[in-house]
Chain A
Amino acid sequence: MLRLLETFFRHRLILLAPVVFVLVATMGWVVIQPPAYDSSVRIWTERQTLVPNPNSNPYLTAAQEQAGVLQELVSTKYFDVKVGKRSSLTAAIRDQATHSQGGIKTRALRLVGLAPPAGKVTDADIDDQVYGAIASNTGVLASGPEIITVTYRAGTPEMAALVAQAVVDQFMDETLANQRVQADAAVAFYQSQVKAGQADLAAADKQVDDYLLANPSQRAATAIPDARMLQLRRDDDAAHQRMQTIQDKLDQARLNRVALDQTGVNGLRVLDRAEPPASSSSLKRTLLAAVVVGLVLASVIVVVGVLVLTWTDSTIRRPQEVEELLDLRPVGSVPRVT
């Protein structure tokens, strides 16, 4: 350890020069960054009581659960393209792509025919750019047990607010749409079950009526029912019971479906809508990121430099090294006279 420290202090200028260079370079990078604006939406989320979610995890808070779902959605192209179309992001990117000549790389590729001519962009390209922008600039954070904060970073305050709001709106629509599809499926299923149950019930009723017609002695109120009559009545009661159960389930499914059309029933509610930020928020964050990156890089340079310099130093510096490395007896060490 001391040897490493000695190496550092011995070569401090050589080691610190690249560190200073890295820090200056990162600061320069910060300075040339365009301004960016963050806009946030806060959503209140709670567990659904009217329409229970069978996939709900009881060990997570409602915000954590929904934030996880939203993060997954944001990382999909399907969702991001819809958000892009919902906001004006797709139009803005298309407009920019149409009027831009592209960067150095694009221009070079265009020269050798590997990139399309300027101004010609396909829908797929636009979708890719929208997906890239939303996936990389959207932040989803469960900032409380029941609050989710969705933040979007854009080059203009208006665009930041529009996209942040569009992400949340699309998420709520997606959540509702999924639940509606499930509710519709449940209603359709129970309706078919009710139809089948009704047919079974009608058949059971008819068998009882037919038996009574064929056996008038069984019609009297005081008549003792024979075994066949008892069996037919039992079957008829069972059909009635089954029919009632299915009807109850159908009613519940219909109720769920109707409830999903009511506001806030999906457990999500927007508390704070996205507003265009008044000032750029990027400088502080970019500066912080640059300082962290710069310090990490500088530390790596110093550590690697010290290790390399120590490793390549094959000289003897202390008397004990004489014995360790040469197996010779040291009789003294003369300090440097300054």
Chain B
Amino acid sequence: MAAVSQNSHALHQSHPKPRPEGRPDKGSRRREDVRIPRQMLEVCRSASLLLGGPNIRRLGITSALREEGRTSIALAMAIVQRQDYGRTVALVDMDLENPTIARRHDLELFPGLAELARRDVSPEQVLQPLSDGLFVVSTGSLAATAARTMTEIVKADTLSQLEHHVDVVIADMPPLLGGGPGSAATRAFRDLLLVIRAGATPVARIREATDELQVVPQVLLNDTHTSLPRWLRRLTSR
């Protein structure tokens, strides 16, 4: 398992100011290691290079359905950007209906993207440090439906506000299918990474999900495995 230390919170000069004193920073309080499987990190490292490496400005990580490993991949891509290129990264939780990043890392659920879209807060206030140079933007508190909020986020180009404070924005997007705002969210990205869980998502659903996309996504196959026994793998050189 690769681990990204949270010991240091020293940010680049253009980095946001620390959160107000009155609001406890749960992430910095817990100081846990962000654990990502090393193999996943290696794959994301090569995938990141194929996607543009240090030139990526905004990357949306999406999937056709839930439970395909989208959030883990998003986190891994964020860590790669930080570790390999030394860039400051904002990991934005755009899954408005089922936010997980903040909960998973014991961070504040709000203020977040929704408040930023409403201009209730400044970008500095929503960037929560997860580790050195890696910030998380949680979904925030929705004032309207998820679809309406997503439309506002896309229309107001809220992510560009974040881009002024970090080098790269990586978004954990909602799934494209399921009636959520996933399809609308893709309009905010020129680079999309579609996570497909191997052996789980039917091709027909993936086609259905990608048919309406305005951007041709790149694909990262997640959770691949072979059921062949070791001796047969050796025999077939797999």
Which positions in A face B, CB cutoff 8 Å? 2, 5-6, 9-10, 12, 313-319, 322, 325-326, 328-337
Contact A316 B196 (CB under 8 A): yes
Over the window 206-235 of chain B, the binary record of Cβ atoms lying under 8 Å from chain A Cβ atoms (1 yes, 0 no) is 110010000011111111111111001000
* Minimum CB distance partner of A319 in chain B: B221
Interface of A is mostly: mixed
A333 touches B224 (CB 8 A): yes
Residues 13-50 of chain B: 1 if any A CB is under 8 Å from the residue's CB, otherwise 0? 00000000000000000000000010110011011001
Contact between A333 and B198, CB atoms less than 8 A apart: yes
- Please, which residues of chain B bring their CB within 8 A of the CB of A322? 196, 219, 221
In angstroms, Cα B220 to Cα A326, docked, is 13
Q: Does B10 contact A (CB under 8 A)?
A: no
Look across to chain B and name the residue whose beta carbon is closest to the beta carbon of A2: B236
Most buried by B among A9, A316, A326: A316
Would A326 and B219 count as touching, CB distance under 8 A?
yes
Q: Which residues of B contact A336 (CB under 8 A)?
A: 223-225
Q: Give 12 CB contacts A-B under 8 Å.
A: A6-B227, A9-B227, A328-B217, A330-B219, A330-B221, A332-B44, A332-B220, A333-B198, A334-B73, A334-B223, A335-B223, A337-B40
CB distance from B96 to the nearest CB of A (A): 25
Q: Please name all residues of chain A whose beta carbon is closer than 8 Å to the beta carbon of B232 when the two chains form the complex.
A: 5, 9
How many residues of chain B have a CB within 8 Å of chain A?
A: 41
Cα(A245)–Cα(B236), bound, Å:
84
Cα A322 to Cα B219 in complex, Å, equals 8
The residues of A that contact B47 with a CB separation of less than 8 Å are 331-332
Q: From A2, A318, A326, give the contact of B203 (CB < 8 A).
A: A326
Instruction: Give bound CA distance, A9 to B227, whole Å.
Output: 6
CB <8 Å contact, A331 and B203? no
A335 to B219 CA separation, bound complex (whole angstroms):
14
Assembled-state Cα–Cα distance A326/B39 (Å): 25
> Taking the nearest CB of chain B, how far is it from the CB of A338, in angstroms?
8
Which residues of A lie under 8 Å from residue B103 when comparing CB positions?
none
Given A326-B207, A331-B50, A332-B46: A318 and B227 within 8 A (CB)? no
Q: Shortest CB–CB separation between residue A316 and chain B, in angstroms?
A: 6
Q: Which residue of B lies closest to A10 (CB)?
A: B227
Report chain B residues within 8 Å CB of A332.
43-44, 46-47, 50, 220-221
